[in-house]
Structure 1
């Protein structure tokens, strides 16, 4: 519903005449023009009208279809970690953009559209969405949400793998975030975590500084939203760089945390009780122990009553990946070759650098199984495909196992 029509509707619902609503600040004629969509009120006038109607500006300016917007945002297609639903967005959302409500849920839907534009390389349109969302929150006096959307814009850049641009934008909004941290502690937590995550491929000191600051603030605020993920990343970093004292420290921190929060484990990079931070997936130190851990993890996974929609949506595929790894570490290489499905590891929406590297590493069981069955040239060809999938991340600290596997495959003939 257009703004003018909405003002008229609310006025009539409250049995107010034009004169009643106009009061002493605006004229009856001006109000009539506004209600008939022939004049757009200034923010001052809009605030005055909202006060006279005893509603918020946000409520007054809300248009579009709230129920439809919510239905789109909550659609299960957005819980699939394997594919971004381009076709769904193109058929069900883009042709009906005028239905997006001017509300928080509407802005969430605009964010999905922005992700679509980033994913398809239409960055100019994505930037327009960012401007639109920011303007909405600014006009409704929600500066903290406008800033939070700047972080959401950075996250949307993951879908186009613009990691450097995202990191630079995080640097540019730090001062604004700090000004509002006392009003919205969650905003500061968001910033510290994403700053650390984006920094890891560009500035290791920044990654550590903001990551440890996030952990400290989590305890101070008693808000552990990012605690698991941050501890995991720091532990992985130190483990991959050979600082085993710090690796053990973060492993123990995570072990203690998981005693009280057992479902914090993410289902992509599962871990055992003994090794909550898993450094190796194929080139494991003790194959028998690792195999036993895998079987226990699978049993726990199957018996879990986790109701998270991401979990439910991807349950079958996660089990298939576990079974392949169990077969590999059991020495059933032919079973791996028979049951391997490249689609399990093709995840264009696994956009974090670490996630992409982890997927490629775990997919390396296929070329390794080829190698173990004497099919060396096929193993090399398959590995090269995996390597190409993360060519932009080849210098990452997290590629250690993957390139150790490469050395094994390509030096096998020597």
Structure 2
């Protein structure tokens, strides 16, 4: 339904004549042209009509099928943590782009389309989506949301694993984000988190500066959306570089946070209360303690109740990974070899480089079990597959344990 058709429909629902709706603001003839899609009203005229019809300007500008759009956006398949929903996007969304509503829900669906294009390397089409979404928000006067979409555009680059380009896009947005910091604190927090997180691989000083600013801002705005995750990132960073005092400081922050936040989501994000940020997965210093922590964590996962299908799928797979690790550390090498499933570790939608490295490192229980059983050639072949999965990240400081496993297997 076009703009003019929507205005006419609303006018008739309110039993208003052309003259009554036009009032003294616009002429009856001009309103007729607008309703017949022969003239585009100015934002001032739109504001008047929206007020007279008791709706928002964004509602008047809405096009497409809102119900269908919402149905697409809310489909669970789009939020699978393991597989990118390529077929769903290609079969259900792309042939029906004209049905996407001109609303904030519609812009969310356009973001999914943009992510798909990045994932496929079609950056020209992804950029067109960005122009459309930004244009929508600017046209409706929601400039802060236009900037927020620019942040989302930068993040969409993660799906094509172009981390440095994503980081540079974020750097270029700082001034605009600052413009809205008092008006939209959520936008500022989003920016600080992703700026710090992406800097982790490229600029340690930037990572620390913006990460600390995020933690300060979390208290300032009393919004702790990213507080947990930022402390985890700091824990990984300081633990990896061997700064024990800072590593323990951020572990303690996490313990305190979990003391008053009872969300099961966060409880399952930490390996153990004693060591919330786990630095090693395979080549651990105290195997007995690590095995005990693994078994406690497994019990915690199994006793956490949820009806969320995304949660259930994720933790079903998490249990399988834990079982492999438990059996490896118990010396049950044959179990690991027989039950190892590459699909548990093959996560197309993993975004942060650190996530991909941790997943690949945990998967080394497979080549290590082969190596320790004397199957050296098979172990090397299995390791090379894992190595290929993070080839673009081989120089990362977080691949330390991964390379230690490599040193053992290849002598």
Distance 1:305 1:345 in 2: 24
Verify: 1:227 aligned to 2:227, yes or no.
yes
1:278-315: CA deviations, max 9, x gaps?
A: 00000111101101110000001000024554312322
Match of 2:124 in 1: 124
Distance 2:159 2:273 in 1: 33
Match of 1:352 in 2: 352
Give the 3-state SS of the residue equivalent to 1:144 in structure 2.
helix
Distance 1:383 1:261 in 2: 39
Verify: 1:373 aligned to 2:373, yes or no.
yes
1:90-113: CA deviations, max 9, x gaps?
A: 111111112111111111111111
* TM-score, normalization by structure 2: 0.96
Distance 2:330 2:261 in 1: 31
* TM-score, normalization by structure 1: 0.96
Distance 2:50 2:253 in 1: 51
Question: Structure 1 stretch 226-235 or stretch 56-65: which is displaced more?
Answer: 56-65
Asked whether the 8 Å contact 1:177–1:187 carries over to 2, the reply is yes
Asked whether the 8 Å contact 1:50–1:57 carries over to 2, the reply is yes
Match of 2:159 in 1: 159
Q: CA deviation at 1:31?
A: 1.9
Superposition pairs of residues 377-396 of structure 1, within 5 angstroms: 377-396=377-396
Match of 1:247 in 2: 247
Distance 1:400 1:308 in 2: 35
Distance 1:28 1:122 in 2: 47
Q: CA deviation at 1:369?
A: 0.5
Distance 2:74 2:50 in 1: 30
Match of 2:195 in 1: 195
Match of 1:109 in 2: 109
Asked whether the 8 Å contact 1:79–1:313 carries over to 2, the reply is no
* Alpha carbons of structure 1 residues 323 and 270: separation in structure 2 relative to 1, 3 Å: farther
Q: Which runs of 5+ in 1 are unaligned?
A: none
Distance 2:283 2:259 in 1: 28
Match of 2:305 in 1: 305
Asked whether the 8 Å contact 2:271–2:297 carries over to 1, the reply is yes
Question: Structure 1 stretch 349-358 or stretch 63-72: which is displaced more?
Answer: 63-72
Count, aligned residues: 410
Distance 2:404 2:267 in 1: 25
Asked whether the 8 Å contact 2:258–2:267 carries over to 1, the reply is no
1:49-83: CA deviations, max 9, x gaps?
A: 22333322111112222221111111110221110
* Alpha carbons of structure 1 residues 273 and 55: separation in structure 2 relative to 1, 3 Å: same
Distance 2:284 2:261 in 1: 27
Match of 1:265 in 2: 266
Match of 2:182 in 1: 182
Q: Which runs of 5+ in 2 are unaligned?
A: none
Q: CA deviation at 1:130?
A: 1.1
Question: Structure 1 stretch 25-34 or stretch 146-155: which is displaced more?
Answer: 25-34
Distance 1:331 1:103 in 2: 56
Asked whether the 8 Å contact 1:64–1:101 carries over to 2, the reply is yes
Distance 2:248 2:306 in 1: 28
Distance 1:399 1:259 in 2: 31
Q: CA deviation at 1:264?
A: 4.1
1:163-182: CA deviations, max 9, x gaps?
A: 11111111111111111010
Asked whether the 8 Å contact 1:80–1:310 carries over to 2, the reply is yes
Distance 1:198 1:306 in 2: 31
Asked whether the 8 Å contact 1:228–1:264 carries over to 2, the reply is no
1:189-223: CA deviations, max 9, x gaps?
A: 11110000111111110000000111111112211
Distance 2:22 2:303 in 1: 64
Q: CA deviation at 1:20?
A: 2.0
CA RMSD of aligned residues (A): 1.5
Distance 1:240 1:359 in 2: 16
